[in-house]
Structure 1
Amino acid sequence: MGPQEFAYLLQGLAWTLVLTAMGFVGGIAFGVIVALMRVSSVTWIRLIAIGWIGLFQGTPLLMQLFVAYFGLPLLGFNLPAWAAVGIALTAHASAFLGDIWRGAIQAVPRGQTEAAMALGLHTRSLMIDVIMPQAFKLSLPATVGFLVQLLKGTSLAAIVGFIELTRAGSIVSNQIYRPLLVFGVVGAMYFAMCWPLSLWGRNIERRMSAGVSR
């Protein structure tokens, strides 16, 4: 495998990072909404969030990619491949992150809410200034863990023909007929991205556990 093939893999790696960023940032934006809807006191709002979470957690990411890539054009949305994949990853991430943050919000001690209400804080101020900062800290290890899963999940975009790292590896492998070498390099690239994130998540969890035990 020469410099040209390695450069092609790096281009695929760049697209993997772009897709991960799109899905994660979009998932954060919509995940916050899903989490707040999930803990809402209004029944129909809560049911919509439960349905959204159940739909995307209960179906494979591969199927979601197929629906976004082939289904959206049938509805008149002629999107480039990267946009369709980004939409699917965003919807997928919003369901998982929304559920993670829902659990974190509900894990905040009820005494915090009661104390804030006793001080006369409105519901919006209670959520933004009291509940969400604590919930964010509680959810950080699980959020980082999901980021690792999302990064690896971008490899499924190869199924719809998008050239990210895995697809780039397949193309290079077909050109030089050395699949073990090529996918060894591809695997090393995924490892180099995922392992530091996993260590970071464990470190955060360990520090939080140490703080709780004191």
Structure 2
Amino acid sequence: MGPIGENEFFFLMQGLKWTVLLAIVGFIGGGIFGILIALLRTSKKKVARTITAGYIGVFQGTPLLMQLFVVYYGVALLGIEVNAWIAVAIAFTLHASAFLGEIWRGSIEAVPKGQTEAANALGLHYVSRMKDIILPQALKISMPATIGFLVQLIKGTSLAAIVGFIELTRAGQIISNQTYRPLLVFGIVGAIYFIICWPLSHAGSGLEKRMAKAAR
């Protein structure tokens, strides 16, 4: 068995860097498209609602691992050369947009209808109504679920290793193969994930409890 020294820890930190970056890109990109999906899902146009419902159904009804395969190898079949980073970033953005879009759709619909009726009575047009009245309240309602999804997204980045992307889990696997100390290596990897995810989960749970008390 080989030693686990400074070089091995540095390699893990490099993998952690890509894990964090991938989660950030997927979450921000998914958030941008997710809000658009949420607005289309709550629109009065049946075609828009049907198309976005189908989009959400596809990404929620299929494994993330399969989505990574389809994006990575599917783009290559079109004759477009992409590296693993771009492929997984696209896949995670699409995946996150479907889940966040549905979370925010539910939050928009959870805003009391009286708010919309009051905005209409004041003569506010759609953009002002959504931007100034509905979305701020929907965002507050959605925060616990949004944070929960972010935690799942961070843990889900471990699947990116399947297409050759070296993130934290893949870095741990490489070091484990070199040192023959899988229990120690993956114990460290698991501890790193816990340090990142537990505070977020705790914050989401605390926020949900505070919101529940405020609603009483």
Spell out, residue by residue over 1:81-132, the C-alpha distance to the aligned partner (whole angstroms, 9 max, x if none). 1110000000000000000000000000001111111111112211111110
Q: Deviations over 1:135-178 (max 9, x none)?
A: 00000000000000000000000111110000000000000000
**Residue 164 of structure 1: aligned partner:** 167
Alignment-derived partner of residue 36 in structure 2: 33
Equivalent residue number for residue 93 of structure 2: 90
Aligned to 1:180: 183
2:149 pairs with 1:146: yes
Would you say 1:137 and 2:125 are equivalent positions? no
Query: What whole-Å deviation, never above 9, does each CA across 1:15-71 have from its counterpart, x for those lacking one?
Result: 000100010000100000110111111111111100110000000000000011111
Letter paired with 1:71: G
Q: Give 1:188-203 correspondences, 5 Å limit.
A: 188-203=191-206
**Aligned partners of 1:117, 1:59: CA distance in 2, in Å?**
39
For 2:84 and 2:60, locate their aligned partners in 1 and report how far apart those are by CA, in whole Å.
Answer: 23
Alpha-carbon shift at residue 76 of structure 1 (Å) = 3.0
Q: Could you tell me which amino acid in structure 1 is paired with residue 99 of structure 2?
A: F
Match in the other structure for 2:112: 109
Q: What is the CA distance between 1:210 and its match in structure 2?
A: 1.6
Query: Partners in 2 of 1:35 and 1:139 — Cα distance?
Result: 12
* SS of match in other structure, 1:131: helix
**Amino acid aligned to 1:45:** A
Instruction: For 1:31 and 1:201, locate their aligned partners in 2 and report how far apart those are by CA, in whole Å.
Output: 20
- Read off the aligned partner of 2:169 and give its amino acid letter: T
Q: How many residues align?
A: 213
Aligned twin of 1:207: 210
Match of 1:8 in 2: 11
Question: So what's the TM-score if we normalise by structure 2?
Answer: 0.97
2-structure distance, mates of 1:110, 1:22? 34
Q: CA deviation at 1:77?
A: 2.6
Give TM-score, length-normalised by structure 1. Answer: 0.98
Which residue number in structure 2 is paired with residue 76 of structure 1?
A: 79
Paired amino acid for 1:149? Q
- Residue 2 of structure 1 aligns with an amino acid whose one-letter code is G
Alignment RMSD (CA, Å): 0.7
- Runs of 4 or more above 2 Å deviation: none
Q: Could you tell me how far apart the structure 2 residues matched to 1:51 and 1:25 are?
A: 22
